[in-house]
Amino acid sequence: MVKIPKSHPRYWSLYYREKIIEGMERGMTAKAGLIAHGRGEAFDYLIGEKTIEPAERAMKAAVAKFLLAKHPVISVNGNVSALVPKETIELAKAFGAKLEINLFYRTEERVKAIAEELRKHDPDIEILGINPTKRIPNLEHDRGKVDENGIWRADVVLVPLEDGDRTEALVGMGKFVVTVDLNPLSRSARMADITIVDNIVRAYPRMVELAREMKGLPREELERIVEGYDNGKTLSDVLLHIKNRLTKLAREGIWRRKEL
């Protein structure tokens, strides 16, 4: 990995960019994953590169839903395994969820490289999606492959950084779908039951924390959190956050300003 000076004003952004490049070099991340990462970064700039209130609200509802789930599954792709492998495993444990490798550009080498990365963090972790035998209806061959013991029978699925077409197909199968996506306008963001508009590098650690905090809550309380949640309002609040932030920046002026 290229050494980035800690003093660089955009150190963390460059750090995660290097992680994605490293993920590609090690066979986990697809080339298209690099482009998807760039699109995410652009939206993170607009949001302000921090977890905003609508994302925190969505995370609470998502955690409540996962703690109530019968067969919860967390999907892992090439970008996720490059950015947050350790946190993915922590989240699966905190939720009592299964992990499934689920790729848009599926190749056996990529599946193997991702499984290896996850096993580096926990050699005993159960990983699904290595030999998927089921297909999501209405998605052509490789794009639709899922594990019979994973996404196929899941009631609640977390599909971060997911393509919109596949998100929609999962909703069509009757799954309760949670996504993490920095672009509030993407098809995934619009189709999911709960959309967490935040960078996955901030969202996953926060969700692990929330899961540990909320684990002791009575079921009725968790149910109340899920029922009171409105994803349409969350997405509108994200758009308003971006609009208001840009309006404020435009009024204040940004020319030669060091911090935004």
Which residues make up the interface to ligand ATP (CB under 6 A)? 36-37, 39-40, 43, 79, 83, 161, 163-164, 180-183, 186-188, 199-200
For Mg ion, the binding residue among 163, 193, 198, 237 (CB under 5 A) is 163
CA distance 128 to 147: 6
In the complex, the smallest distance separating the C-beta of residue 167 from ligand ATP, rounded to whole angstroms, is: 6
CA distance 220 to 237: 27
Residue number, 77 or 149, with CB nearest to Mg ion = 77
Contacts of 78 (CB under 8 A, 6+ apart): 23, 24, 28, 29, 30, 33, 103, 105, 110, 114
- Grouping H, G, I as helix, E, B as strand and the rest as coil, residue 156 is strand
Stretch that binds Mg ion, among 77-85, 162-170, 207-215, 232-240 (CB under 5 A): 162-170
Beta bridge partners of 99: 74, 127
Give the helix ranges, DSSP H, for 26-163.
31-47, 53-68, 78-83, 85-95, 108-121
DSSP state of 178: E
Residue number, 89 or 177, with CB nearest to ligand ATP = 177
Residue number, 149 or 199, with CB nearest to ligand ATP = 199
- Grouping H, G, I as helix, E, B as strand and the rest as coil, residue 127 is strand
In the complex, the smallest distance separating the C-beta of residue 144 from ligand ATP, rounded to whole angstroms, is: 15
- Helix axes 85-95 and 108-121, enclosed angle (nearest 10): 70
In the complex, the smallest distance separating the C-beta of residue 214 from Mg ion, rounded to whole angstroms, is: 31
Residue number, 71 or 187, with CB nearest to ligand ATP = 187
Stretch that binds Mg ion, among 133-141, 161-169, 173-181, 243-251 (CB under 5 A): 161-169
Q: What is the token pair recorded at 163?
A: 């393509």
Is 117 one of the binding residues for Mg ion (CB under 5 A)? no
Is 44 one of the binding residues for Mg ion (CB under 5 A)? no
Is 162 one of the binding residues for Mg ion (CB under 5 A)? no
Contacts of 256 (CB under 8 A, 6+ apart): none
Residue number, 36 or 210, with CB nearest to ligand ATP = 36
Instruction: Number of residues interacting with Mg ion: please give it, by CB under 5 A.
Output: 2
Give the helix ranges, DSSP H, for the chain.
11-25, 31-47, 53-68, 78-83, 85-95, 108-121, 164-172, 187-191, 200-214, 219-227, 231-252
- Helix axes 219-227 and 53-68, enclosed angle (nearest 10): 130
* From the list ligand ATP, Mg ion, none, partner contacted by residue 36 (C-beta under 5 to 8 A by kind): ligand ATP
Is 181 one of the binding residues for Mg ion (CB under 5 A)? no
In the complex, the smallest distance separating the C-beta of residue 39 from ligand ATP, rounded to whole angstroms, is: 4
Residue number, 112 or 187, with CB nearest to ligand ATP = 187
Residue number, 147 or 198, with CB nearest to ligand ATP = 198
